A and B are shown apart, each in its own frame.
Chain A
Amino acid sequence: MIPKRIYAAWFVVHFFLITAVCFAGIFSLVAEGTTALPSVLDKYARKAELIAAFVLGKEAAASSPVRRGVATYLYAAGSQSGYTFFAPNVPGYYQLSLELNYEDGRVEYESPRVSGKAAALRLDSLLNRLADDRYEPIREVVVKMLVFSVWREHPGVKKIRATFGSVTPPSISDFGQGKRESFQPLFSYDFSLRTEQNE
C-alpha cells in the first residue's frame, strides 16, 4: 500500500503542472492581442507566458531530461495543452482548394477528403494548424502530402495548383442582408506531379 503522503505529493505536482499549462494557454491568448483586454497588458502576458513555459521546462535545451520528462508526463496524462477551445473568439476557418489539370486540358476542382465525420473533424483541425505561423516550416510539406493523397485518386492529372485560404463567414446581420462567406487566398503552390517538384 502506497502511503497517503506519496499520493498527496503526486497530486500537488500533477496539478501544479496542469495549472501551469492552463495559465500558459491564457497568457498566450492575451499576449497575441486576441482578447478584449487592453493592449498594454500584452507584454506582461508575454512575460508571464515565458514564466509558465520555464516552469514546464520548455525554456531548457531540447535534450534536457527535465524538459523531456515533463513533456512525456503531460502527454501521457493528456494534459499537454490548455483548455481554451473556441476562446477568446471562434476563428474563421480554412480551405485547401485543389485545381486538377489533366493531360487533355480538362480542369477539375477538388479538396482533400475523408469518409467519416470523426475524421472530417481531424482534417479541419489539420487545416487550422496549417494557418498557424508555428507550422510555417512544415506547411509546404503537408500541403504536398495532401495534394498527393488526392492525386492517387486521379492518376491522369498532370498538374495541381493548391490554394490555401481563410474563409470569413458573414456576421449574423450580414447574413440577414444576403451576404455570404468570402474566401481570402493566403498562399498557393503549383505541383507538377511527374517530378513532384514544387515550382
Chain B
Amino acid sequence: MEFLFPSESDKWLAILRIGLGLQVTVYTLFLKSDWHYLFAGTGKGLVSRELGEAIISFDSPSIPKLGWLVALGSYVNVAEETVLSVAWACLLVAGCCLLRGLFCRPAARIAWFLHRCEAQSGGLLAYGADNFMTMGLFYLMLSPLPDRFSVDHRLVKIKPKDPQLLGFWRRVLQVHLCLVYFFGGLGKSLGSGWWDGSNLWRALTRPPFDIISPDILIRFKYLLPILGISIVLIELGYVFFIWMKETRFIWLGCIVGMHIAIGITMGMYLFALVMIVLNLAAFGADPGFAERRSRTIRKKFERSKQTQYRCLV
C-alpha cells in the first residue's frame, strides 16, 4: 500500500496540467486548416468520418465519437460544419483553460471527451500521439485538481488535496510510462535493424519524417548503430533506472533528449511534446522525490486540516 500511496506535493500535477494544456492548444491550432477536411462526413472530406466511426463501433458502440455531437446538432437544426467548428473551438478553449488553470476539472473533462471523440472519428487517421494525449487527459481529469498554481486555487480557497491521493495518481502515471517504454524497447530489441542502425536510417529517410537530407545522414553513418542501440537500451532500462535515485535524472535526461531529437529530426512535434510532458510530470517534479519530503508534506496537510477545523468551530 505504501508504494501506491506515497505523499506528494501537487507540483507534478501542475506540470501535467500546464503541459497538457499546451499540448491541446498546439494540437488544435496545428489541425486548424485540416479540421473539417479530416472529420467531415461522406463526400465532403478526405475520407468519411462515418467510416472510421463504423469501424470503431465494431469494438464497442459506446466509445465517444464526433458523430454523437453531429447527431445532437442535427436534432436542433445545427449543420455538421457548425458542430465541427464548435467542437474545434471548445477543444481550443479547454486547452487554454488548462494552461491557465481556470475551471481545471471541467476543462480536463471536456478536453478528454472532445479529443477522444476526434481520435475515434478519425480512427483510420489516428497515430501514436493521439493515444498518449488521451492517456494524459484521462489521468489528469481523474487526478485531484486544481493544483495550487492554478487560477482556480487563487479565486476560490480550496482545501489542500490529500498528499497520498496526489501520490497515487502520480504513481499511476509513473507505472504506465514504465510499461510504455519497456514494451516499446522490448519490441525494438527483437528486430535486427535497431542493432545495426538500419532502422534509424529508414525512420529518418521515409516521408513524412525525412526532414534531414540522406546526404547529410550518410556522413554520420557510423553513429547510427550506436544511436539505435542506445534507443533500445534507454527504453528497456527505463523501467529499472528511472526508480533509482542515482540514475533517475540521467535516464530522464536521456529520454527527454530522445523525444526532443524525434521532434526535431522527424517533425513529430506533438508526439515529442506529449511524451516530454508525461515524463516531466511523472519523474521530473520534486527533485528530492517523495521519500525525502513525504513527512513534511504530510505534516503540512495535517496542520491545514486542523486549522480548518478550528475555523469551523
Contact = CB atoms under 8 A, between A and B. Distances in A.
B88 to A, nearest CB: 13
Nearest to A81: B131
Interface of B: 1, 4-5, 27, 30-34, 37-38, 42-43, 45-48, 51, 55-56, 58-64, 116, 119-120, 122, 124-128, 130-138, 162, 164-165, 168, 172, 175-176, 179-181, 183-184, 186-194, 197-199, 201-203, 205-208, 214, 217-218, 221, 224, 267-270
A82 B259 CA distance: 19
B183 A120 contact: no
Contacts of B120: 75
B193 A90 contact: yes
23 contacts: A4-B5, A11-B168, A15-B175, A26-B183, A78-B133, A83-B183, A84-B183, A87-B188, A89-B199, A89-B202, A93-B206, A93-B207, A117-B208, A118-B30, A120-B208, A121-B127, A121-B268, A126-B47, A126-B124, A129-B124, A172-B197, A172-B218, A175-B214
Nearest to B211: A117
Contacts, number: 216
A4 to B, nearest CB: 6
Can you list the 6 inter-chain pairs with the closest CB atoms, starting with the nearest?
Answer: A88-B191, A78-B134, A87-B187, A84-B187, A78-B135, A122-B125
A27 to B, nearest CB: 11
Q: Interface residues of A toward B: which range?
A: 35 or more
Contacts of B5: 4, 7
B191 A77 contact: no
A164 B305 CA distance: 66
Nearest to A150: B46
A149 B45 contact: yes
A171 B198 contact: yes
B43 to A, nearest CB: 7
Contacts of B221: 172
B149 to A, nearest CB: 24
A23 B197 CA distance: 25
A198 interface: no
Contact of B138 (A8, A36, A76, A118): A76
A7 B169 CA distance: 10
B199 A125 contact: no
